[in-house]
Homo-oligomer: A and B are copies of this chain.
Amino acid sequence: MQSLYQQFQVRFQYPVHFTNGLFKLDNPLFAQTIQPSYPGAIGKVLFIIDSGVALAYPQLEEQIQTYAEANRTIFQLAGSPIFVEGGEACKNTTEWVEKIEQAVNEFGIDRHSYIAVIGGGAVLDMAGFAAAVSHRGVRLIRIPTTVLAQNDSGIGVKNSVNAFNKKNFLGTFAPPFAVLNDFDFLAALQDRDWRSGIAEAVKVALIKDSAFFSFLFENASALATRDMPAMQQLIHQCAELHLNHIAGGDPFEMGSSRPLDFGHWSAHKLEALNGYQIRHGEAVAIGIALDSIYSQLVGKLSAEESDQIIELLEQLGFELYIPELSARTSTGELAVIRGLHEFREHLGGRLTIMLLERIGKGVEVHEINTELMTKAIGILETRKQKTEVNI
């Protein structure tokens, strides 16, 4: 009997807006984002708020209530906001996902209602997962509050929680309904978090856009000292590059060899080895330094460009060596190298690592020379010792 071949395309689209004072009464953006599902329909919105953001902005809940009241012909709040523990912790338990699913049930949130989540990348990931599996997908409005979430993790198509001690073990690909980047939230960031988000911009500049690398290099000290206009420009450019990368590639990663994000294979493992005390961006900065030096050691990148990358990262204030880089497993293997295999398993398929052939141009390889990688780690360690001696 003849086989049948199913085939179809699905179009996804969403806006990424940039604003200040999102819930000020004279800012129409949030209300304009709500689309009636039929003429006259009033949108229902469940808010999820990162407890860290709520602490920094104690007036936020009331501001949202006032805004909703003023726009009551457009949308209504579904109950009180759910306040979620910020940071990776909220992804390490099923508690928060279940709490959101319960609220979806309790408040009658349907596929044309909204979950609006305000917070850092971890809270966006977790709430995004809950939204994606409830009724097979409730509309998700992401309101990222960190540099990292505004320029990278919060504008993409993925969500996740951790399980079995593995980062992002559970998740889906689910484009948001809209992303609203409010720069005002950045003011409350700790210096570490401000800096941390810049690492993804360095990453994307290195593999995609040498002019953007020059911008970062020229503005390194402004960025390190929290110059807001420079940061806004960084976020916009990084977001644009990131969106283009997703749209132009394989958005749902169905292909057979998705390259690991540049500098990320070691970063993920370092975060785990370090018990997630290090920020993701701090780990990525180390990963970028490591893979830049390694790219030079295998003869792909010039020493001059490799030095320039390290110089930029140091100017931005990143520490480029932590002892976890040299940690070994019980069998004597470098623990970060073991992480390489775990990451491959998460992605599936053949190991594919992005290296650099020049600033602005990545190149894929399928194996890593352990000896040279160990040497690269040694170079970062020596450099750190020298810096300490100088101090």
B-binding residues in A (CB < 8 A): 1-18, 37-38, 41, 101-102, 105, 108, 110-113, 129, 132-137, 155, 158, 160, 163-164, 166, 168-175, 232, 236, 239-240, 243, 246-247, 251-254, 256-257, 344-350
Contacts and interface: CB of A to CB of B under 8 A. Distances in A.
A38 B112 CA distance: 41
Contacts of A253: 111, 136
A13 B13 CA distance: 21
Contacts of A350: 37-38, 41
Given A37-B256, A38-B350, 7 more contacts: A3-B17, A7-B247, A8-B12, A38-B349, A101-B164, A111-B346, A172-B172
A134 B164 CA distance: 11
Chain A contact residues, majority secondary structure:
mixed
Nearest to A350: B38
A41 B349 CA distance: 8
Contact of A15 (B4, B14, B113): B4
Contacts of A347: 110-111, 135
Which 3 residue pairs spanning A and B have beta carbons closest together? A111-B348, A110-B348, A112-B348
Contacts of A240: 4
B8 A110 contact: no
Contacts of A247: 6-8
B112 A136 contact: no
A170 B111 contact: no
A7 B12 contact: yes
Contacts of A349: 37-38, 41, 110-112
Contacts of A348: 37, 110-113, 135
A311 B236 CA distance: 65
A105 B165 CA distance: 10
Best-surrounded residue of A8, A37, A134, A252 (most CB of chain B within 10 A): A8
Nearest to A113: B348
A163 B101 contact: yes
A257 B169 CA distance: 34
Contact of A6 (B101, B171, B236, B246): B246
A254 B240 CA distance: 25
